[in-house]
Structure 1
Amino acid sequence: MKTPILIAAIFFSGLAFAQKKSDSTQTKNIEAVTLTKKVFKKQSDRFVYDVAASPVAKGNTTFDLLKQTPLLSTTDDKTLKIAGKNNALIYINGRKTNMDAESLAQFLKNTPAENIQKIEVITVPGSEYQVESSDGIINIVLKKKMSDGTSGNMRMSNTQNKYNSSNASFSVNYRKDKLGISANLNGGENIQPQTYILRNGTDLVKNESTGDIDDPNKNIGGYLNIDYQLNEKSNLALSWNSWANKSYNSTIDLFNTLTVYNADGTLNTISHTKTKNREDARNYNNSVNLNYEIKLDSLGSKLNANAAYLNYKRFQYSDNNTMVPGKLQDYLTPGKKIIQNIPQIINNFSGTVDYIQKFNNDLTISVGGNYNKTKTDNDTKNFTYLYDEDGNVEKTEQDFNHFIYDENIYGAYLTVEKKFSDKFSGKLGARYEITNSLGTSDNASPEYRRIERNYNNLLPYLSVNYAINDKNNISYSFSSRMRRPSFWELNPVRNYISEFNYTQNNPFVKASSTYNQELTYMYKNSYFLILNHSYFKDQITQVPLQGYVKSPDGTIGKQNELRYIRTNFGDKQEMSAMVGVQKSFFKQYLTTNFNIGVQHNKNNGILAVDPTSGDTFVDKDGKDLVYRNNISSTSFVIQTNNTLRLDKKKTWFLGVNFFYIDKQQIELGMLKDLMSLDLSLKKNWNDWTFAVNLNDVLRTNIVEVEDYQANGNYNFVRNDQYRRGVTVSLTYNFGNQKVKKVRNIESASDEIKNRTR
């Protein structure tokens, strides 16, 4: 059950700055390396990690290596994050990978690190990249001149936390002359457990819900990439990606307590109910991309074109039940039932064209454009049944809403990159985007049946880099971006946690703007200082409104409600300072990645009305209740990832990783401090790799958010996702591991695909 209560808390809380759970260790033989190159350096618009010159590259998968790359980490062993960024997009050889998150993780875990030349971390992407908000880019550059042949990988893993889960994958790469084929098939099953404590209310009304959420999942997916070299200058490639998830019998089981006090503070009543919800959901994601590339000269000038189609389907059926004590106090008597049928279908057609012209080695001009046409179809049906004291249906209500959203995006960019001298270089660019969207609803009130938005945005970009000398380097970047709402955020549906506690999506959410600045200093290509400032205008987030609901006609409800509403919530600033080191010690027996820093958040938002219904919230005396967050906070962050080689033969490795983040103010309230200690042990034997990972050993990675409003409202959420667990994995590599990889292509629909999640 994809319960989104803590989406804001987890993904917009600054935890991206904390960069938790980087639990990789190194395995397989590490050959003697003479470090004659700069392993970690700063270029004009990116950090470059020279894997070929690094002592930790040998014997790893690409995913393991990325987790050891400076500024990178993972929170869930599936997705990667860049310090100070909301999200990290994966590029290979300068092109975004056309895969969903699950398939991408499997691809990275099945690609040997020996095939990688370098890893580029682009913290502030230029105008040529289609990214949103403060997203960063990880570009993996593969080695060239690899021989023809076949190679493959098989991997099995088993994880035990509250429940047991298993995964398996098989991948194969083939290249012969002009033809390259890459394919992967992976799948698994797991139960995602959560335990919640939810408390909210006012001075006179207290609600508490405690219990468990269990979400079983079965997944299967894969990809097929075909690349054919038409001649010495041109290539044609076809990519197909598919992913399916089945999540049946997801359950919510909560015990609810409602306590009401009199005006003088004395107890009035205490009542109890139980929430028993069940959900069946399944989703499918299929995409295909056709790419054509032609090289125009020996300097690297080229023309690149993509055409893509994306189809996403999700079907969700939920049965939400409020059970009352009944005559036998057994909580088997229904009080209220809400049945929801929430399908979503997304179709997208996309195209991109990029032209890059190089003039010697000093000047590069890039120009290009993109077009996206998207249609989402959301035909939601709600049935509400009210029961009498004997459990008989007393009243039935129906609420149908067929919401269709059409969106057209036109974009164009121009960048100029110039190397003025061996020490000084710069890059200047801009992206211009036109967005036309229309949302229609067949049964809403007249003012809400047609929601039309048209806006144009000019997004400038600048970066400069100055190498003071061989030991000192300084750079500055500025970027402006948009953050469009995800398609699920626009679908005006409610996801019920309990009868009076639910999330509310919002078709009126508009795109937000983000302005990023970053100043970086690097010393000896091992020590670095990063100063970052991000300003979010009309930020998209989730905000709690609670109290007695007052409808636009003046009617006031009889029960205190809590709605987590997706909306544009004012402005926000994030400022951070971080120092770090990436270095090997004691003849490479110890490799360490260490970051320490502070982050300052400034929130400035207010919400008084539910934008989807016009409802306001009042206390028992009819006084308006609003939600305000204009609180600032400063947080201390530390992260260290260490790999210890345990034997002279270089086959045993121990990983010790730790993070800590101080408490900080987020949109939902004050997020308490978090930390996690992760350990891992790996053994390499010929083509086999055996690994044991212990995550969150101290069981301290549990989210708690608490908020108190001046009007007396409070809200508390404790979410335990059972992150402590052990994972055992076995990997076997076969074939010619020097096979040249299939050319990875950025799909024209990648940016749209990100908004389906």
Structure 2
Amino acid sequence: MKTPLLIAAIFFTGFAFAQEKKQDTIKTKSIEEVTIKKQVFKKQSDRFVYDVAASPVAKGNTTFDLLKQTPLLSSTDDKTLKIAGKNNALIYINGRKTNMDADSLVQLLKSTPAENIQKIEVITVPGSEYQVESSDGIINIVMKKKMSDGLSGNMRMSNMQNKYNGSSASVSINYRKDKLGISSNIFAGDNIQAQSYVLKNGNAKSSNESIGDITDPNKNLGGYLNIDYQLTDKSNLALSWNSWVNRSYDSRVDLFNTIVSDSTQYTWSKNRENARSYNNSLNLNYELKTDSLGSKLNLNAAYLNYRRFQNTDNKTYGSNISRDVLGLNQQIIQNLPQIINNFSGTVDYIQKFKNDFTVSVGGNFNKTKTDNDTKNDTFIFNAQPPVAPKHDPNHFVYDETIYGVYLTLEKKFSDKFSGKAGARYEVTSSLGTSDNTNTPEEFRRIDRKYNNFLPYVSFNYALNQTNNISYAFSTRMRRPSFWEINPVRNILTNDNYTQNNPFVKASSTYNQELTYMYKSSYFLILNHSLYKDVITQVPLQGYPVSPDGKVGTNNVLRYLRTNFGNKQEMSAMFGIQKSYFKEYWTTNFNIGVQHNINNGTLAVDPTTGDRFQDIDGKPVEYVNKTKSTSIVIQTNNTIRLDKKKTWFVGVNYFFVDKQQIELGLLKNLMSLDLSLKKVWNEWTFALNVTDVLRTNIVEIEDFQANGNYNYVKNDQFNRGMTFSITYNFGNQKVKKVRDIEGASDAIKSRTR
């Protein structure tokens, strides 16, 4: 979902004290309090920096909550983070990419207290030295520096009440003794993700409507172990292990279907699913400092193993207008495993010179194999004449090799002006093979080789102490995620399902951004992005016509993963941050305007070669060549209730105007969130209420020129309440273990 949300920053003051000592006698002078305005949110070279060390927002919050209130960052689903409302966010810690997959990383961020964070850096347009996909941006979390030896840690417990109740707990420990540092975390939780759906599609002559609920129970267990040893004064060796397990048994989909054509039919779709996932990664890192200016060599070797086992039982029952469950009409049993193995390596060298000139050079290697041995068994009941069961196996194996090299030059020409230029060159080779004899021969082998040259340039100019301007241009590509190319169907109803696509190819993105900042309090960002061969999911409906000319008997709707033309996004975002009444009230107000231009058509199912026609036999295609302009308004407010800074109230609100996306017109969204927080010594108690007005519900509608329409309403029950308790223990001056970037990190984001 492309949702251009902005979040503003927070000011805080510091105090400077002075004492005067007399030559013969010591007299204590009255200490004068001096208020110092610190730049809490500022632009530095290629990034925005948000200093949160003394912010009232940080205390007692989770890292995920803090990120949602960081300028330029947002989340509308409480699961994913966006930069400037559109860029996907990759998480770094102390300059190193987190060595975790997407789901476990979110769980970790939600279970980690935010008090240990010094600042957050937001890189909207990453340089050539970063391995990022498409329009991905980077969030770099800089932890507080703690120097002494010892043991420290924290514990956090929370209970959540949305439609169902859930709970989570975590323990983090940091230990340092001389040259050895150990950091570990373990977290566990359980919840039931609930959703309700209204699905409508069809035309004036025929229509389908499905209404019902989805419940998805989840149990999570995960953690990490980082060991860092200082070999010499200039070199370190580190080993990182991350693990995450998810179990989702007895997930349920219950949809009541109304099919209108020559007559009206009623059915029930009752789907049951058991799934479990395992993600383990191991990374070995060596770092060598080569001089006193900060030059260094960094080597990484990593192994990643991801396994998901999914079994579904999809049943369609007859029904009537009273919604009674009658006889079983059809049953589809699916076994959908996915196994991913990746070996990766990276080499990075940074050479700094005394004249403020920096050269970065490096390369990466990724070797990935995915194994998807799926099985589908279809049983038709009460058919005349009887229909034999259909066994449809498909063993799809995908091998991919990526080589990449980069060069970046960075120069500070003066105190006012700095620039950066670079390029990345990548070579990708992939082979996908399928043993499914029910598909045409050309669909059983997909062999691709492509090279990409990806330039980057940026500059930053401080006009004076209060005015700053910067510009950045970047070219990137997006490779499809591994689940997107796994050719399986996820069935909603008998005639409505999503279909992944092994033929999806990489897309390209061209980003440019102009930023103006005034007094580190006001900022204006102008952005333009061009996407070519957009990877997305689009609806194609009608009566399918197979390549051999056979016409289907039912009007079906397939949500197909595919490359869907080109897209442009243009946005202007303005933000302001202020504190009032001696910082008793900190408020952030932001407003943004985004203009989307979509240009895509789809007439053929890329996985089967099927074309579609309407009930009169006329060809059907899905067309989205529309434009939209949307407005976004967001405000975050923190109110301090007492002088000792122990009681806080939070009031947050956002409104997202309707906008055109690939699936159709996304209607407006808004949410009001409230919080109450109490700080007591090393304990923090917090109560958060989200979506108080219950207005954060997704609605998408699309009307085609040929008369077809499609409507989706998805309620994820975002209104809820969370109560949490956080306790910090041990020596709070323990130095953090060095956070290490894994060589396989660029691959992990594609496993989900």
Q: TM-score range by the shorter chain?
A: over 0.9
Report Cα offsets for 1:198-234 as digits up to 9, x if no partner. Answer: 0001221011000001111111111101000001000
- Give 2:297's aligned residue: 303
User: Which residue, out of 502, 520, 523, partners 2:497?
Assistant: 502
Which SS does the other structure have where 2:483 is aligned? helix
Distance 1:107 1:193, change over 3 A: closer
- Give matches, 1:145-544, under 5 Å: 145-260=146-261, 268-325=262-319, 330-360=324-354, 362-388=356-382, 394-443=387-436, 444-544=439-539
In structure 1, how many angstroms separate the alpha carbons of the residues matched to 2:282 and 2:554? 49
Write the letter of the residue equivalent to 1:314: R
- Whether the 8 Å contact between 2:10 and 2:586 is mirrored in structure 1 is no
- Give 2:630's aligned residue: 635
Write the letter of the residue equivalent to 1:420: F
In structure 1, how many angstroms separate the alpha carbons of the residues matched to 2:716 and 2:737? 38
> Are 1:754 and 2:741 matched, yes or no?
no
Report Cα offsets for 1:242-300 as digits up to 9, x if no partner. Answer: 0011111101111100112xxxxxxx311111111101111100000000000000000
- Whether the 8 Å contact between 1:35 and 1:53 is mirrored in structure 2 is no
In structure 1, how many angstroms separate the alpha carbons of the residues matched to 2:736 and 2:452? 38
User: Which residue, out of 696, 701, 705, partners 1:701?
Assistant: 696
In structure 2, how many angstroms separate the alpha carbons of the residues matched to 1:365 and 1:669? 45
- Whether the 8 Å contact between 2:6 and 2:591 is mirrored in structure 1 is no
Measure how far apart 1:107 and its partner are.
Answer: 4.2
Distance 1:576 1:445, change over 3 A: same
Distance 1:25 1:500, change over 3 A: farther
Distance 1:439 1:583, change over 3 A: same
Distance 1:739 1:110, change over 3 A: farther
Distance 1:329 1:600, change over 3 A: closer
Distance 1:544 1:606, change over 3 A: same
Q: Could you state the TM-score of these two structures normalised by the residue count of structure 2? A: 0.94
Measure how far apart 1:36 and its partner are.
Answer: 4.5
- Give matches, 1:2-81, under 5 Å: 11=1, 14-15=2-3, 17-18=4-5, 34-52=35-53, 61-81=62-82
Identity among equivalent positions (%) equals: 74
Measure how far apart 1:38 and its partner are.
Answer: 2.0
- Give 1:624's aligned residue: 619
The CA RMSD measured in Å over matched residues stands at 2.3
Distance 1:446 1:626, change over 3 A: same
Write the letter of the residue equivalent to 1:222: G
Write the letter of the residue equivalent to 2:50: Y
- Give 1:3's aligned residue: none
- Whether the 8 Å contact between 2:512 and 2:527 is mirrored in structure 1 is yes
In structure 1, how many angstroms separate the alpha carbons of the residues matched to 2:591 and 2:690? 21
- Whether the 8 Å contact between 1:18 and 1:638 is mirrored in structure 2 is yes
Distance 1:630 1:123, change over 3 A: same
In structure 2, how many angstroms separate the alpha carbons of the residues matched to 1:81 and 1:424? 29
Write the letter of the residue equivalent to 1:511: A
Write the letter of the residue equivalent to 1:490: I
In structure 2, how many angstroms separate the alpha carbons of the residues matched to 1:106 and 1:207? 38
Distance 1:315 1:61, change over 3 A: closer
Gaps of 5+ in 2: 17-32
Distance 1:330 1:414, change over 3 A: same
Measure how far apart 1:142 and its partner are.
Answer: 2.7
Distance 1:72 1:328, change over 3 A: closer
Measure how far apart 1:148 and its partner are.
Answer: 1.1
Measure how far apart 1:540 and its partner are.
Answer: 0.1
Measure how far apart 1:74 and its partner are.
Answer: 3.1
Write the letter of the residue equivalent to 1:121: V
Distance 1:617 1:39, change over 3 A: same
Distance 1:585 1:540, change over 3 A: same
Aligned length: 733
In structure 2, how many angstroms separate the alpha carbons of the residues matched to 1:109 and 1:566? 30
In structure 2, how many angstroms separate the alpha carbons of the residues matched to 1:673 and 1:322? 34
Write the letter of the residue equivalent to 2:404: G
Measure how far apart 1:170 and its partner are.
Answer: 1.1
- Give matches, 1:75-94, under 5 Å: 75-94=76-95
In structure 1, how many angstroms separate the alpha carbons of the residues matched to 2:267 and 2:536? 30
In structure 2, how many angstroms separate the alpha carbons of the residues matched to 1:211 and 1:30? 58
- Give 2:124's aligned residue: 123
Which SS does the other structure have where 2:36 is aligned? coil
- Whether the 8 Å contact between 2:60 and 2:677 is mirrored in structure 1 is no
Report Cα offsets for 1:107-146 as digits up to 9, x if no partner. Answer: 4456554543332111100000011111111112233352
- Whether the 8 Å contact between 1:675 and 1:700 is mirrored in structure 2 is yes
- Whether the 8 Å contact between 2:477 and 2:507 is mirrored in structure 1 is yes
Report Cα offsets for 1:453-483 as digits up to 9, x if no partner. Answer: 1000000000011100011000000011111
- Whether the 8 Å contact between 1:25 and 1:643 is mirrored in structure 2 is no
Which SS does the other structure have where 1:558 is aligned? coil
Measure how far apart 1:633 and its partner are.
Answer: 0.2
Which SS does the other structure have where 2:135 is aligned? coil
Distance 1:156 1:393, change over 3 A: farther
Measure how far apart 1:76 and its partner are.
Answer: 4.2
Distance 1:33 1:127, change over 3 A: farther
User: Which residue, out of 545, 555, 564, partners 1:560?
Assistant: 555
- Give 1:583's aligned residue: 578
Q: Which one is further off, 39-48 or 284-293?
A: 39-48
Distance 1:196 1:64, change over 3 A: closer
Report Cα offsets for 1:501-525 as digits up to 9, x if no partner. Answer: 0001100000000010000000001
Which SS does the other structure have where 1:128 is aligned? coil
Distance 1:661 1:746, change over 3 A: same
Which SS does the other structure have where 1:65 is aligned? helix
Which SS does the other structure have where 1:490 is aligned? coil
In structure 1, how many angstroms separate the alpha carbons of the residues matched to 2:34 and 2:547? 72
User: Which residue, out of 661, 680, 687, partners 2:656?
Assistant: 661
Distance 1:497 1:365, change over 3 A: same
In structure 1, how many angstroms separate the alpha carbons of the residues matched to 2:34 and 2:70? 18
- Whether the 8 Å contact between 2:507 and 2:531 is mirrored in structure 1 is yes
- Give 2:27's aligned residue: none
In structure 2, how many angstroms separate the alpha carbons of the residues matched to 1:571 and 1:329? 43
Q: Which one is further off, 678-687 or 438-447?
A: 438-447
Q: Could you state the TM-score of these two structures normalised by the residue count of structure 1? A: 0.94
Report Cα offsets for 1:131-187 as digits up to 9, x if no partner. Answer: 111111111223335211111111111111111111111111111111111111111
- Give 1:263's aligned residue: none
In structure 1, how many angstroms separate the alpha carbons of the residues matched to 2:562 and 2:177? 52
Write the letter of the residue equivalent to 1:291: N
User: Which residue, out of 732, 735, 738, partners 1:743?
Assistant: 738
